């Protein structure tokens, strides 16, 4: 297992053996070196480890994807059916019954694109949050950057998003969406959603290890977040005096930006800037908190 | 001298012992605590409801490259905590640990195995979790599968494996990990005898290549056989650090409260009755030297010294020998014609029973010693349970029942028996 100083050295054993103790330092040159300091000495970020263990992140993601698609009989279909049925439901309620106006985008396309991004986000956050507790043996029996466990859960969600995007493309064609250059920004907004999800998941996962009942509060908080985000309704329908709530919500810029990239409508760059700043700051804070609490995971979990 | 690759300095690890459960809390408790704390303070109690426990304290250790260090101690002595610190699973509360080299830790067999994934998929996943590179796993994949002898089932999800198969696959991956420093916890205690043999061979191989190994085990014969140096942990402290045999003996002495020799200097405190009192029991070799360990091939004696206080009794010294699992290996008593049915005069006697070489299996043994009268009626005059303890060790030399086999040999005895083979039809 490689240590934080990065590259492993298979050659270290072939290094000439030094007979005298004084030469010991020379004999150990190039060997990965780790200094494990006491808890009191503060947080060790060990950023080098993230790189040293990068392949493990791939394997953990691959495992999460594989297991998810193996466990359910319907496999891939399930990933499409969920947002599809939700979309049909919302179309019926908001569009047909409540006569909600989704502007230039046909409501089913509007709702499906929002639900696709939101479903990814909320599944990523909840599975990321619970990932540490459901991988107890990984936490207590082996060392690697634990941040990879929630990260893999978030990354695995991207595969679902990719599958769901196939139906989105079909809907876009069906409704005759005029695709512009802006479509290249779609992955950027997906990445932004993933960054926000990762920040949230890291923070929530680290806190859940210590405070278990956070797990029960999470679904409720996510639902609250969904209804304060323009997932199934456009920003326009919100009364002026409540707009600021949406403007502060980092999901607003992501959802609206995602739709704008798809349909070629105008971007609200201010909302996008809020999302970028929020996601980046949250990720930095979350990573720091996670690293700080990480050292106690094995003792507490 | 080889360079020091692991340096542990003044390391301590403190755990909080929660009143309700080991570590985690709920918001409800935190709130409850916050509300209750002022009340408790009013009552003069400590603000915290937690007790702390030092799982390790003042641990200092230097291990050189190529050393194989055995770590022994009772459950809860801090062995696992030490390994967790070395493998960076948890951080020390005080002190620091310095490590040179790639560390591979095997604290559990099959960490991260997923039941729904196939054998092949788990080899990759587990390999990566243990710290192997993808390219490294790909290169060794065939070797790993061959080692596990599971070629036919490698595409089957491991949930359909028997526990033996599961363990074999998991160990095979672990055995192909090539860290400079290997940390192992009891993983040898798995699998059937033939597979354990393979694992032992593999460990020898790892050691021969100059890798450093930390080996925690309750299997004292294995520790003695594999490690030159052993440390003994007691209540979080290193209480002994030295040659394997010495430390293992010390451990046995402390755990059984019995050593190779026991003496009662005061007659009034000596176990026994008005007829006979035990004065000394010891384990010795052929030359009469007290020994705590005996080569599996050499004879070993249990010697009992006792004072006969009342003349005119027929006395029978008895030795019962138990192994570490508590299985009685045998009971033996004096049947020599010289003393059989012969009434004894008062005075001091020393009886010894010689257990021939190549009879006892390797391991730890403990003797109960008694003096009985059997004639005309049965009376137990003196009895000391766990009087003396000793180890039978197998140094893997010529002339033992092992031959060329290095794996575990079950059985309470290990006699060297005569075999004959007749070639009936030979091409």
Mind giving me the DSSP string for B377-415? S-EEEEEEEEEEEEEEE----TTSTTTT--S---SSB--
- Across the interface, of A17, A67, A138, the residue whose CB is closest to B129 is A138
pTM: 0.73
How far apart are the CA of A166 and the nearest CA of chain B, in angstroms? Answer: 27
Q: B-contacting residues of A 219-278, CB under 8 Å? A: none
Interface with B, mutate which of A53, A142, A216, A291 (most B CBs under 10 A): A142
Q: Which residue of A has its CA nearest to B31?
A: A211
Contact A182, A99 (CB under 8 A): no
Residues in chain B: 427
Instruction: Spell out a b/e string for A119-153, using b for 16 or more CB atoms within 10 Å of the CB, else e.
Output: bbbbbbbbbbbbbbbebebbbbbbbbbbbbbbbbb
User: Is A72 touching B (CB cutoff 8 A)?
Assistant: no
Output the pLDDT for position B355: 95
* B94/A40 CB distance under 8 A: yes
Interface pTM (ipTM) of the complex? 0.80
Contact A195, A254 (CB under 8 A): no
* B99/A142 CB distance under 8 A: no
Contact B161, B117 (CB under 8 A): no
User: Is A77 touching B (CB cutoff 8 A)?
Assistant: no
**Average pLDDT per block of 10 residues along chain B, 427 residues long:** 90 73 56 59 51 87 91 85 89 91 80 88 91 91 91 92 84 83 71 67 78 84 83 91 86 75 90 93 92 89 94 92 86 90 91 94 90 85 91 80 77 91 88
d(CA B77, CA A165): 56
Q: φ and ψ at B199, to 5 degrees?
A: -65, -40
d(CA B67, CA B63): 7
Element spanning A112, H or E: helix A107-134
Contact B59, B95 (CB under 8 A): yes
Q: How far apart are the first and last CA of chain B?
A: 54
d(CA B8, CA B238): 12
Each of the 301 residues of chain A gets a pLDDT tens digit; together they read 333 333 333 333 333 333 344 445 556 677 778 888 877 777 777 788 888 888 999 999 999 888 887 766 666 777 778 878 888 888 888 878 877 777 788 888 999 999 999 999 999 999 999 999 989 888 888 888 999 999 999 999 999 899 889 889 999 999 888 888 888 999 999 999 999 999 999 999 999 988 888 888 999 999 999 989 998 888 888 888 888 888 889 999 999 999 999 988 888 888 899 999 999 999 999 999 999 888 888 888 7
Size of interface A-B (CB pairs under 8 A): 174
Angle between helix A54-71 and helix A148-174 axes, rounded to 10 deg? 60
Show residues of chain A in contact with B3, CB under 8 Å: 18, 21, 23-25, 27-28
Q: CB within 8 A of A117, min separation 6: which ones?
A: A161, A189, A190, A193, A231, A254, A255, A258
Q: Which residue of B has its CA nearest to A63?
A: B125
Show residues of chain B in contact with A35, CB under 8 Å: 96-99
Show residues of chain A in contact with B65, CB under 8 Å: 27
User: Is A54 touching B (CB cutoff 8 A)?
Assistant: no
- Across the interface, of B25, B108, B125, the residue whose CB is closest to A59 is B125
Strand B276-284's sheet: what is its strand order?
B261-263, B276-284, B300-308, B347-355
Q: B-contacting residues of A 8-27, CB under 8 Å? A: 8-10, 12-13, 17-21, 23-25, 27
The SS3 assignment for B66 reads coil
Angstrom CA distances, A254 to A1, A114, A227, A267, B182, stand at: 39, 10, 15, 10, 47
Residue in this structure with the two tokens 């006792």, named with its chain if needed = B306
Show residues of chain B in contact with A21, CB under 8 Å: 1, 3
Q: Which CATH number fits domain B261-393: 1.10.150.120, 2.70.50.60, 2.60.40.3670, 2.40.50.140?
A: 2.70.50.60
Contact A174, A119 (CB under 8 A): no
CA of residue B92 relative to chain centroid, distance: 26
The SS3 assignment for B281 reads strand
Element spanning B319, H or E: strand B315-323
Burial class from Cβ neighbours inside 10 Å (0-12, 13-18, 19+) for residue B338 reads: exposed
Element spanning B51, H or E: strand B51-64
Q: CB within 8 A of B48, min separation 6: which ones?
A: none
Contact B93, B14 (CB under 8 A): yes
How far apart are the CA of B4 and the nearest CA of chain A, in angstroms? Answer: 7
Contact B215, B223 (CB under 8 A): yes
Q: B-contacting residues of A 182-211, CB under 8 Å? A: 209-211
Q: CB within 8 A of A227, min separation 6: which ones?
A: none
* A2/B4 CB distance under 8 A: no
d(CA A13, CA A138): 29
Phi-psi region of B357 (alpha: psi -120 to 50; beta: other; left: phi over 0): beta
Output the pLDDT for position B258: 74
DSSP annotation of A203 reads: H
The SS3 assignment for B317 reads strand
* B25/A295 CB distance under 8 A: no
- Across the interface, of B1, B84, B114, the residue whose CB is closest to A67 is B114
Q: Which residue of A has its CA nearest to B3?
A: A24
Domains in chain A: boundaries? 1-35, 45-300
Q: Which residue of B has its CA nearest to A139?
A: B89
Contact B407, B351 (CB under 8 A): no
User: Is B340 touching A (CB cutoff 8 A)?
Assistant: no
Report the CATH number of the B4-254 domain. Answer: 3.40.50.300
Q: Which residue of B has its CA nearest to A60?
A: B125
| Rg from Cα positions in chain A | 23
How far apart are the CA of A79 and the nearest CA of chain B, in angstroms? Answer: 19
Output the pLDDT for position B35: 61
Show residues of chain B in contact with A49, CB under 8 Å: none
Show residues of chain A in contact with B134, CB under 8 Å: 55, 58-59
How far apart are the CA of B119 and the nearest CA of chain A, in angstroms? Answer: 13
d(CA B164, CA B185): 18
Show residues of chain B in contact with A19, CB under 8 Å: 1
Element spanning A138, H or E: helix A136-141
């Amino acid at each position: 297992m490689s240590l934080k100083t990065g590259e492993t050295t298979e050659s270290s054993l072939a290094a000439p053996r030094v007979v005298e103790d004084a030469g010991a330092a020379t004999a150990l040159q190039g060997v990965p070196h780790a200094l494990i300091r006491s808890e009191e000495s503060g947080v060790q970020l060990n950023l080098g480890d993230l790189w040293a263990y990068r392949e493990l992140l791939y394997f953990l993601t691959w495992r999460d994807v594989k297991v998810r698609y193996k466990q359910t009989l319907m496999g891939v279909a399930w990933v499409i059916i969920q947002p599809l049925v939700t979309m049909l439901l919302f179309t019926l309620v908001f569009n047909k019954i409540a006569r909600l106006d989704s502007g230039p985008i046909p409501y089913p396309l509007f709702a499906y694109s929002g639900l696709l991004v939101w479903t990814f986000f909320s599944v990523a956050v909840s599975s990321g949050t619970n990932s540490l507790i459901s991988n107890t043996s990984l936490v207590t029996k082996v060392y690697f950057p634990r941040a990879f466990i929630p990260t893999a859960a978030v990354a695995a969600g991207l595969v679902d998003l990719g599958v769901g995007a196939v139906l989105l493309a079909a809907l876009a064609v069906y409704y005759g969406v005029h695709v512009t250059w802006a479509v290249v920004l779609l992955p950027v907004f997906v990445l932004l959603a993933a960054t926000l999800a990762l920040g949230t998941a890291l923070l929530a996962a680290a806190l859940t290890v210590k405070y278990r009942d956070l797990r029960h509060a999470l679904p409720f908080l996510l639902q609250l977040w969904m209804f304060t985000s323009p997932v199934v309704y456009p920003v326009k329908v919100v009364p002026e005096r409540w707009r600021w709530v949406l403007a502060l919500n980092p999901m607003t810029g992501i959802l609206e930006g995602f739709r704008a990239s798809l349909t070629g409508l105008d971007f609200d760059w201010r909302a996008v800037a809020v999302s970028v700043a929020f996601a980046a700051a949250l990720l930095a804070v979350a990573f720091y908190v996670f690293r700080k609490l990480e050292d106690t995971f094995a003792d507490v979990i | 001298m080889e360079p020091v690759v692991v340096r542990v300095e003044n390391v301590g690890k403190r755990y909080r012992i929660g009143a309700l459960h080991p570590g985690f809390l709920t918001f409800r408790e935190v709130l409850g605590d916050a509300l209750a704390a002022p009340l408790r303070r009013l009552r003069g109690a400590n603000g915290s409801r937690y007790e702390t426990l030092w799982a390790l304290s003042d641990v200092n250790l230097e291990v050189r490259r190529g050393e194989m260090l055995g770590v022994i101690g009772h459950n809860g002595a801090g062995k696992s905590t030490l390994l967790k610190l070395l493998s960076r699973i948890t951080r020390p509360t005080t002190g620091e640990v310095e490590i040179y080299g790639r560390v591979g830790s095997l604290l559990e067999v099959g960490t991260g195995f997923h039941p729904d994934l196939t054998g092949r998929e788990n080899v990759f996943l587990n390999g990566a979790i243990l710290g192997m590179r993808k390219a490294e796993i790909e290169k060794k994949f065939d070797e790993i599968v061959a080692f596990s002898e599971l070629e036919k089932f490698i595409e089957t999800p491991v949930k359909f494996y028997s526990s033996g198969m599961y363990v074999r696959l998991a160990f095979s991956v672990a055995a192909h990990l090539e860290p400079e420093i290997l940390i192992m916890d009891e993983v040898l205690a798995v699998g059937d005898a033939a597979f354990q043999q393979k694992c032992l061979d593999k460990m020898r191989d790892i050691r021969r290549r100059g890798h450093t190994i930390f080996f925690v085990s309750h299997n004292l014969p294995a520790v003695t056989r594999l490690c030159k140096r052993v440390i003994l942990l007691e209540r979080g402290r290193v209480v002994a650090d030295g040659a394997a045999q010495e430390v293992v003996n010390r451990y046995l002495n402390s755990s059984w409260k019995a050593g190779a020799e026991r003496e009662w200097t005061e007659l009034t405190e000596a176990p026994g009755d008005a007829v006979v009192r035990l004065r000394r029991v010891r384990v010795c070799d052929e030359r009469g030297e007290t020994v705590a360990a005996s080569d599996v091939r050499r004879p070993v004696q249990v010697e009992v010294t006792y004072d006969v206080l009342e003349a005119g009794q027929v006395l029978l010294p008895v030795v019962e020998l138990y192994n570490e699992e508590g299985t009685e290996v045998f009971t033996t008593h004096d049947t020599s014609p010289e003393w059989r049915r012969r009434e004894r005069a008062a005075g001091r006697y020393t009886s010894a029973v010689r257990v021939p070489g190549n009879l006892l299996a390797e391991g730890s043994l403990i003797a109960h010693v008694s003096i009985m009268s059997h004639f005309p009626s049965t009376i137990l005059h003196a009895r000391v349970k766990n009087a003396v303890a000793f180890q039978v060790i197998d140094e893997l030399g010529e002339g033992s029942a092992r031959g060329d086999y290095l794996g575990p040999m079950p059985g309470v005895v290990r006699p060297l028996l005569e075999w004959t083979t007749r070639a009936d039809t030979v091409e």
